[in-house]
Amino acid sequence: MAYCKSCGAYIPDGQTKCLACGYDEAAQAAQEQARPDNTSGQTDGAAAGAYQNAFAYRDNHEDLKHRLEEQRRAQQEAQRRLAEQEYARRKKQEEDRRWAQQEYERRQEEKRRQEQENANRFAQDAARYTYRSQTSAQPNKMLAALSYLGVLCILPYLFTENDSFAKFHAGQGVRLLIFGLVGTVVGSIIGLGWLFTLASLYFVYKGMSNALNGKMEPLPWIGTIGSK
């Protein structure tokens, strides 16, 4: 293993010429031998100085290589930190974007759900209002007809507050109920109870027929009693 006396670089085995600076030790030795003897002392001194300069250059070269290596490592570390910071920044941006997208979709879904609930509530209110309007607009013929069956005449007053048709027949049923009670008492006294029974059956038939046909006609003889 040999090193160049000029620059201190490594010289492979079997070669005498430095591949870095071109210094040829064999050629230099031949030149030294060809010089006169009176200059041999000076030549030896120059060779020693060159040898020392070569080692000094090699030391300086190693120190320079060491500093360059440290700078390279420092640059690599700085680049690595910058890359990590950039990756963290992009990851944070991606997470923020994903969260914003999810929040936007959640709010849109909540808005659609609220609108759907409002639409359903409006439809239910409209249907309920329509049903009430139709119920109040159409006379309740069944309750009106039941008003002629004794105490059932109270039903329209309980369930159809705004149905004037049912209340009219309820009033006729009240008159028929009073007529039946009075007829029962009087008939038992004078012995004509059957006559009042036939009249009551006729009034029930007449009143229920008027109610089912949608007519607001008072009962014969007793339908106008108590009216102004």
- pLDDT at residue number 40: 46
- Return the closest-CA partner of residue 13 out of 29, 1, 27: 1
Q: Read off the tokens for 222.
A: 């007793």
Taking each helix axis from N to C terminus, what angle separates 40-137 and 25-34, rounded to the nearest 10 degrees? 160
CB 21 within 8 A of CB 6: yes
> What does the domain layout of the chain look like in residue ranges?
2-83, 141-212
- pLDDT at residue number 38: 44
CA 95 to chain centre: 17
3: three-class secondary structure by DSSP: strand
pLDDT tens for the chain, 228 residues: list them: 566 666 666 666 666 667 666 666 776 776 666 655 544 444 555 555 655 665 566 667 777 788 888 888 898 899 889 989 999 999 999 999 999 999 999 999 999 999 999 988 888 877 776 655 555 556 788 989 999 999 999 988 888 878 889 999 999 999 999 999 998 888 888 888 888 899 999 999 999 999 999 899 999 988 888 775
The DSSP string of 36-89 is -GGGHHHHHHHHHHHHHHHHHHHHHHHHHHHHHHHHHHHHHHHHHHHHHHHHHH
pTM for this one?
0.40
